[in-house]
Amino acid sequence: MIMTVNGQTKTCGLIGNPVEHTLSPVIHNMLAEITGRNLVYVPFRVEGENLADAVKGAAALGIQGLNVTVPYKERIIPFLEGVDALAQRIGAVNTLVQAPGGYKGYNTDMPGLYRAMLSDGVSVDGEDVIILGAGGVARAVAVMLSEKAGRIFILNRTEQKADAIAEEVNGYAGRQAVKAMPLSSWKDLPDGKYLAVQATSVGMHPCIDDVLIADADFYKRIHTGYDLIYNPFETRFMKLVQKEGGQAFNGLKMLLYQGIIAYELWNGLSVSEKQADRIYERLKESL
């Protein structure tokens, strides 16, 4: 499956800790194969104290591009030569692209989620949205949706974190786009139907029976539920959405498209929907 490694082979990779369970090599090595690039993608487990050296060393070795995962998406920024405007606004970088003197940082997670939604036929334009969670990803989702969605309600166990996101995003959106609420007061949400994005780690393997809100009345308000978790393939959140008549999606396509957008940045090409579909099928088999 992997093409022959020779003197012209380029290397891309992933920096994180841990990296042993990553699906990114599946995405990128298959992309290399189907787009005919002489490229290999490998995971690099990096200890925190070595992060600066790792970035410098990768640049010195001519590593063509890197993804960045937990826990370095924010911590890596000081070691970069520049940061793209969207990544700056989100405050997190998941993709490094070669630039004079080192790497420039990008965030492909959010464009990845947007492209996943397009692929699933889910529109965010003018939609009222509930975001569950106020961690790094929830913050990025709020940034992305503040430009396109209607009202955004961000609900989190720790209310101060939701408050901080609302204040910041409203500041640069120039409108009161985001309202923070404690998780426990979901019954105070205005009447209506919502697109809901589940952006917490609750329900992730192995705790697959966990769910943030179990009350069926909550799910009656949701026409579309997006869980950013992809293991299990169908989370309890998704099942509850579907039980009340909504449509539900997991985070596997977001993972796929964040990888595809990174690959497009590294190689200056466009990956077709047909190629994306092939990789998606392979990803499902790899779960």
Q: Which of residues 180-219 bind ligand NAP (CB under 6 A)?
A: 199-202, 204, 212
| Site membership for ligand NAP, residue 161 (CB under 6 A) | yes
Q: Is 24 in the site for ligand NAP (CB under 6 A)?
A: no
Instruction: Name which position in 38, 123, 158, 286 contacts ligand NAP (CB under 6 A).
Output: 158
Q: Distance (Å, rounded) from C-alpha 166 to C-alpha 172?
A: 10
The answer to whether residues 282 and 256 touch, using CB atoms and an 8 Å cutoff, is no
Q: Among 16, 25, 111, 133, which residue interacts with ligand NAP (rule: CB under 6 A)?
A: 133
The C-alpha atoms of residue 179 and residue 185 are separated, in whole angstroms, by 12
Q: Residue 82, SS3?
A: strand
The correct pick among 15, 68, 129, 137 for binding ligand NAP (CB under 6 A) is 137
Q: If you write DSSP's letter for every residue of 169-209 in order, what string do you get?
A: HHHHHTS--EEEEEGGGGGGSPSS-EEEEE-SSTT-TT-TT
Taking CB under 6 A as the binding criterion, the range among 5-13, 133-141, 174-182, 265-273 that sits at the site for ligand NAP is 133-141
Give me the least distance between CB of 244 and ligand NAP, in Å please.
Answer: 21
Interaction of residue 229 with ligand NAP, rule CB under 6 A:
yes
Catalytic residues: 73
Which range, of 53-61, 151-159, 233-241, 262-270, touches ligand NAP by CB under 6 A? 151-159
**DSSP string covering 29-78, please?**
HHHHHHHT--EEEEEEE--GGGHHHHHHHHHHHT--EEEE-TT-TTTTGG
* Residues 125, 44: Cα–Cα separation, whole Å: 38
State yes or no: residue 156 binds ligand NAP (CB under 6 A).
Answer: yes
Is position 176 an interface residue for ligand NAP (rule: CB under 6 A)? Answer: no
| 111, 273, 201, 186: CA torsion to nearest 10 | 70
Residues that bind ligand NAP (rule: CB under 6 A) add up to a total of 24
Measure CA of the first residue to CA of the last residue in the chain; give whole Å: 19
Q: Among residue numbers 238 through 267, which ones bind ligand NAP (CB under 6 A)?
A: 251, 254-255, 258
Residue 91 binds ligand NAP, judged by CB under 6 A: no
Residue 262's nearest CA partner among 115, 79, 70, 60 is 115
Q: Closest approach of Cβ 16 to ligand NAP, in Å?
A: 11
Give residues in contact with ligand NAP (CB under 6 A): 109, 133-138, 156-158, 161, 199-202, 204, 212, 228-230, 251, 254-255, 258
